[in-house]
Amino acid sequence: MEYNIFSILKRWKQEKAEYKRYKKRINALPRDYQIVMNEIENFLWTCASDHDSAMVMFKALQDLLEFFESNAQEGRDVLDVVGQDVGGFCDDLLHELQGQTWTGKRKEQLSENIRKKLGKGE
């Protein structure tokens, strides 16, 4: 695949603008929601290992933000929304994203390679 430096720079600029809009929306949430959203975001970003998985992660974070905005508007407590085990909530999110992230794809490839080598593959 051939890359044009100008198209890459343009894409980065667009992504940066989109991220700024996303952060502005977080800052508009009630304080408790902001705290939980920022902590979840920090946790999830550690699991994004390349640009593609980062974009998958960002889409998931945008969906989560929309979910938070809706629940905040209804006046629900943030811990009633995510549960007391926020780490478990994050694990569930990661499990849902696993097949779409670099790590998830590598895990699938690892299992497939082992099954084939053991003669138990498809």
> pLDDT, tens digit, for every residue of 104-118?
677 778 888 888 888
pTM of the model: 0.75
What domains are there in the chain, each with its CATH number?
5-117 (1.10.1900.10)
Q: pLDDT per residue over 56-108, tens digit each?
A: 889 999 999 999 999 999 999 999 999 999 999 998 888 887 756 666 677 77
Name the residue type at position 109.
Answer: Q
Helix, strand counts (H, E) of the chain: 6, 0
Q: Report residue 43: phi and psi, to 5°.
A: -65, -50
Is 80 exceeded by the pLDDT of residue 53?
Answer: no
Cβ contacts of 72 within 8 Å, gap of 6 or more = 29, 30, 33, 78
